[in-house]
Each structure stands twice: as structure tokens, then as C-alpha cells.
Amino acid sequence: MSPRHLSQQDFDQRENELITLGRKLLEDDCLTTLTIDKLVAESRFSKGTIYKHFTSKEDLLMAICNQSITEMQAKFKRALAFKGNSREKILAVMVSYVIWAKLHPSQLFAVLAAHSPSVAACACDRRNEKHSQQEADLMSLMNEQIEKAIETGDLTLPKGMLIEQVTFAMWSASWGAMALIMSKGNSIKLSPMQLERESFTNATLVLDGLGWKPLSKDWDYPQTIKNITQEIFLPEMKILEKLATPFIFIS
Amino acid sequence: MSPRHLSQQDFDQRENELITLGRKLLEDDCLTTLTIDKLVAESRFSKGTIYKHFTSKEDLLMAICNQSITEMQAKFKRALAFKGNSREKILAVMVSYVIWAKLHPSQLFAVLAAHSPSVAACACDRRNEKHSQQEADLMSLMNEQIEKAIETGDLTLPKGMLIEQVTFAMWSASWGAMALIMSKGNSIKLSPMQLERESFTNATLVLDGLGWKPLSKDWDYPQTIKNITQEIFLPEMKILEKLATPFIFIS
DNA sequence: AGCGTCATATGACGAAGCGTCATTATAAAC
DNA sequence: GTTTATAATGACGCTTCGTCATATGACGCT
């Protein structure tokens, strides 16, 4: 059963198995009910073995977050395959972000929770470094698009602004809308706010604010959204419909 | 000791005393170490009495969040006293938001945490309703400014956009920057992002995106920020300097 | 003053979860 | 077959949560 030496590969594979199981438990129930004891009970391993992989509950959460981000990144890359101008490609990424959130709300909550300082504080260095690296990768993906847009002349970087700041502005605007809307779907006062629409609004305002061409007044971006959903994310659209949480975009 | 009948007023006063104590514990340590048992130990009351006020730890957190928002709202109102054009007033609110976050990081974390769905789920109805009401009040404050700007002609509402959407766009953009930057001050990859600067950038992009006049190219808003900090928030500036976390704005 | 009543206050307790570590199991080496 | 180093186990101690049976004491009544 227990080999004299456990290869790094086997160890990693087991860890991924555990993280995947953790994500399954998360989907089935919710973040609050996800406990180490439950993971132990559902897994083939004992508590001691689990703690060989995760130094704490927070470490597990961070690991889950990292695996989720990896999946999200795949969606981002698919989005960038959209045939369109530089701004439409950015929009495609935004759309993929919203779709991912709607498809996997509990994973989104895990990612949101993983960004609280207490989680990072209790996760091991290895995990935190991977997390930083993944976010840097996501940002690089956007940075590249921005560079291309600057090359083509669609975007002129405002004086004194860094490419990273542009990425951060778009990311944080999306993040804020996501965090506020998804976390309280039932608040009466916020109910008129619709994730799809507000994400689009935020993106449009930031992009127009940057003077990223073509400006919203010169292009039918609502039509772009439709094209993105039809050309790139049709499978996801169908799943969302089946889940009774369709992607609805009314500008 | 225990009066035959406890008046609502006395009950409320005691509750506020407890919430204030909770906030003190939060400032002294951090969110993770804030426990009901600790609150009980530090307070004049027993566990049972505490649970007369707070149905759960989450309920306490939401109560703390509400009290913090009340204080924040006071800062918002002070900010709106800034003598300037409509856009400068909005900037003043943004500045007050950043100042508040820098002055009370642990309170900010409490507010961020209170926005996770698990907290709202475990807080009592009374508390959740107050929370919704307070956020609605904050939004109203902004809505009024937007209405005024529309009246004066500084802002023309984009076709099909609601005033509430404008408020939400500004709020969520600030929220996102706040949540991402404050929650991980030590991430290497995010370290070039500076709360003061990124909040300003986000606000500028959204406001320019809305075409809210005067546009950033037509006005020296960095100078406005300096004026706001000097004219309205000088006391806070001094405190922040003493805390070795000065408000630094380099555009 | 003495007594009964009942709203209020108390803190011991059971349940649940976390993380540890002494013990057990086992593959590989000899 | 014995030894040995490594991996796996799960019982245990500790913390925290939230409850509830019991204690307290202010007030009305006689």
C-alpha cells in the first residue's frame, strides 16, 4: 500500500485528485460546509495523509482556487480566439469571465474567498507562489492584448499610465461587479443590477475612458456580445439554459 | 442588576457597546482571531446575553460592518462639502473612501468579509435589512450627485443607462481596486499597484467613459486630489502620516 | 418586611472541526 | 526472514460555536 518512496509524480497526482474532490464537495454543498473532516471522509486517505498535502483548511481553499483559475484561464484563451478588433477581443474575455462565474458560482465564491488576507496568511508558500504566478499569467494575457492594440493604434496609452495599470483597471472593475452582484443576489436594493449588463457597462466605460477605438458610439458592441456567445461559447450557453440561469444580455 | 423589563433603548445601547467592543478587538488583532468567546471574555456580559444580541458570529460581523459603514458615510458627507465642480465632488468621495480604508484596514476587511454570501446567510433579517438600507443610502448619496450633474449639463446619461448603473459602475470599480489591492499588499506581482493611484485611475476612466465633464484632459484632477486632501481631510492626512501609511498620490 | 413571579442573565455542556503525533503498516534492502 | 526507513493512520487535545437548564434579582402584592 504505502511504497517505500512516494514519487513526486504520484504525490502530485494524489494532490490533484484531492483538490478535485474538494471542488466537487464545494459544488455539491457550499464553502461553509466544506471541512477537512469531510474531505477525509470522502477520500481514500486518512487525515494525516491529507495534512501531508494541505497545511490547513485555508491551504486547501487556495489550492482549489488555483485549480479553478487554471480552468478559467482556458476559457480566457478560447475567448481570445474571437475574430474581431482589439476591443472586441477584450470584451470576449469579459464575457468568458461572466460565463465562468455563472457556470460555477461556488468556484467563484472560493476564488473570492481565497483573496481574503486570512486565507493567504494560512496557505503555504508554495501555494501562494503558484497563486501569484497564475494571476500574473492572467494579467500577461491581457497585457499582450493591450500591447497589440497600442501597435495597431486602437489604443493610445494615456500619459504616464502603464500597461499593467490598464489591465488592472479592467480586472478590478470586473472583479468589483462580480463580487458585489454575485455575493448578494437577493438584496432588494441591488436586484436591478444584472451581472451581464453591469459587467458590460463597466468594461465599456473603462474602454471608452481609455479612448480605446472603436469607441462605443462608433461600434455595435451589444452585437459583438451576441456574436461572442454564439461563435465561441455556444456549448456554455446551452448548459446555462439547462441550469435555468441563462446568459441574458440586454443593453 | 437585571431589571425586570429591559427597555428597547437600553437593549440597543448595550448592543452598540458590544459592537464597538467587537470593533476594538478587530482593530487590536484581526478578523480571524475575533471570536464570540473573546467578545464574551472582554465584555461585562455572559455568553447567553451576547447571543440575545447576535444570532451568530456572522451576525456580529454584519453588525460591525454596519457600524463601520455608518462612520464611512459620515466621511462621504464631509467629502461632498468640497467646493468644486460635479466631477470633483465625486472624486472627493473616492478620496474619502481610500482614506477610510487606509485608516481602518481591519474594518475594511470586515466590510469585505461581510459581503460574502455565507455571512449574509447567517446574519439575522433585522441586520441584513439594515445593511441593505445603508448601502441604499450610500447609493442615494451618489445618485443625487449624478442627478445634479445631469441638471447642470456636466453629464449626459448614455442612452439606456440608469442613474443607478452609473453609481454602481463607480462603486464597483472602487470596490474591486480596494478588494484586490488591500487584501494582498505583499503579492509581488501586484505590488506596483498603488491603492491611491489605481482608485484614481479607475475613477478617471469611468468618468471619462461617461463623458462626465470636465474631461480629464481638460482639467487638472491630480491638483483636485491635492486640494481635497488639504481642504477636507487634513486631520486624516496627519493621522495617516503618524501611522507611517501616508496618503501618497503620484499620478 | 416577606413572598412569589417571571423576565433576564449565566456558564456548563455537547457538538463539530482543526491540526498533531504516537503508533501501526508495509515496501524495499539485506 | 529480519531489519529499516518511510508512509499512513486515526485517536486525541484543543478551540470555538451555539444552546439550554438553572440561577438571579427587580418588581408587585399582601
Tell me the CB-side half-sphere exposure of residue A200, using CA atoms within 13 A. 24
Contact A207, A216 (CB under 8 A): yes
Does A130 lie in the same domain as A43? no
Contact A174, A94 (CB under 8 A): yes
Q: Provide the number of structural domains found in chain A.
A: 2
Give the Cα separation of B237 and B248 in Å (integer).
10
Does A112 lie in the same domain as A33? no
Closest CA to A170 of A135, A205, A215, A134: A205
pLDDT in tens, A63-112: 999 999 999 999 999 999 999 999 999 999 999 999 999 999 999 999 99
Report residue A3's pLDDT band, with 50, 70 and 90 as the boundaries.
Answer: low
Chain Cα centroid distance, residue B243: 19
Cell readout for A42 is 470522502
Hey, are the CB atoms on A173 and B109 less than 8 Å from each other? no
Q: Note whether residue A40 is domain-resident.
A: yes
Q: Which positions in chain A touch B164 (Cβ < 8 Å)?
A: 192-193
Q: How far is the CA of B4 from the C1' of C12 (A)?
A: 25
Give the Cα separation of A85 and A152 in Å (integer).
10
Does A88 lie in the same domain as A176? yes
Q: What is the pLDDT of residue B188?
A: 57
Closest CA to B55 of B114, B9, B11, B121: B121
Report residue A187's pLDDT band, with 50, 70 and 90 as the boundaries.
Answer: low
Report the protein residue whose CA lies nearest the C1' of nucleotide D6: A4
Tell me the average pLDDT across B23-27: 96
Please state, in angstroms and as integers, the Cα–Cα distance from residue A91 to each residue in A27, A68, A98, A217, following that order: 28, 21, 11, 15
Per-residue pLDDT at A202 exceeds 60? yes
Q: What count of other Cβ atoms lies within 10 Å of the Cβ of residue B216?
A: 19
Q: Which residue of A has its CA nearest to B131?
A: A187
Closest CA to B182 of B117, B106, B115: B106
pLDDT in tens, B170-223: 999 999 999 999 987 556 566 688 999 999 999 999 999 999 999 999 999 999
Does B205 lie in the same domain as B120? yes
Max alpha carbon distance in chain A (Å)?
67
Give the Cα separation of B96 and B110 in Å (integer).
18
Report the protein residue whose CA lies nearest the C1' of nucleotide C10: B46
Report the protein residue whose CA lies nearest the C1' of nucleotide C9: B49
Answer whether the bond into residue A214 is a cis peptide, omega within 30°: yes
Per-residue pLDDT at B99 exceeds 60? yes
Q: Which of A61, A201, A215, A218 to mutate to test the interface with B (most CBs of B within 10 A)?
A: A201
Does A158 lie in the same domain as A225? yes
Does B35 lie in the same domain as B80? no
Give the Cα separation of B247 and A187 in Å (integer).
34
CB–CB contacts below 8 A, A to B: 156
Q: Which residue of A has its CA nearest to B181?
A: A172
Q: What is the pLDDT of residue A168?
A: 97
Report residue A190's pLDDT band, with 50, 70 and 90 as the boundaries.
Answer: low
Per-residue pLDDT at A211 exceeds 70? yes
Q: Note whether residue A249 is domain-resident.
A: no
Give the Cα separation of B63 and B90 in Å (integer).
28
Closest CA to A173 of B175, B90, B182: B175
To the nearest whole angstrom, how far is the Cα of B97 from the nearest Cα of chain A?
15
Per-residue pLDDT at A242 exceeds 70? yes
Does B43 lie in the same domain as B17? yes
Q: Note whether residue B72 is domain-resident.
A: yes
Report residue B230's pLDDT band, with 50, 70 and 90 as the boundaries.
Answer: very high
Give the Cα separation of A159 and B238 in Å (integer).
30
Tell me the torsion sign for CA atoms A177, A66, B112, B236.
Answer: negative
pLDDT in tens, B29-42: 999 999 999 999 99
Q: Which positions in chain A touch B180 (Cβ < 8 Å)?
A: 115, 168, 171-172, 175
Closest CA to B155 of B210, B111, B107: B210
Q: What is the pLDDT of residue B190?
A: 65
Hey, are the CB atoms on A177 and B197 less than 8 Å from each other? no
CATH number of the domain at A193, please. Answer: 1.10.357.10
Q: Note whether residue B16 is domain-resident.
A: yes
CB of residue A7 closer than 7 A to nucleic acid strand C? Answer: no
Q: How far is the CA of B39 from the C1' of D15 (A)?
A: 15
> Any idea of the CA torsion for A69, A98, B180, A202, to the nearest 10 degrees?
150
Query: What spatial distance separates the first Cα and last Cα of chain A, rounded to whole Å?
Result: 59
Does B76 lie in the same domain as B24? no
- In chain B, % of residues over pLDDT 90: 91
Does B182 lie in the same domain as B138? yes
Q: Which residues contact A207 (CB under 8 A, 6 or more apart)?
A: A87, A90, A170, A216, B209
Give the Cα separation of B65 and A245 in Å (integer).
31
Q: Note whether residue A248 is domain-resident.
A: no
In terms of residue numbers, what domain contains B153? 64-242
Q: Note whether residue B247 is domain-resident.
A: no
Does A137 lie in the same domain as A35? no
Does A49 lie in the same domain as A153? no
Q: How far is the CA of B21 from the C1' of C23 (A)?
A: 46
Does B130 lie in the same domain as B19? no
CATH number of the domain at B10, please. Answer: 1.10.10
Give the Cα separation of B240 and A223 in Å (integer).
48
CB of residue A48 closer than 7 A to nucleic acid strand C? Answer: yes
Q: Note whether residue B251 is domain-resident.
A: no
Provide the positions of strand D that have an atom within 7 A of a protein CB.
Answer: 5-11, 15-21, 24-27
CATH number of the domain at B151, please. Answer: 1.10.357
Per-residue pLDDT at B10 exceeds 80? yes
Q: In 3-state terms, chain B is what percent helix, strand and coil (to 5)?
A: 70, 0, 30
CB of residue A201 closer than 7 A to nucleic acid strand C? Answer: no
Q: Note whether residue A247 is domain-resident.
A: no
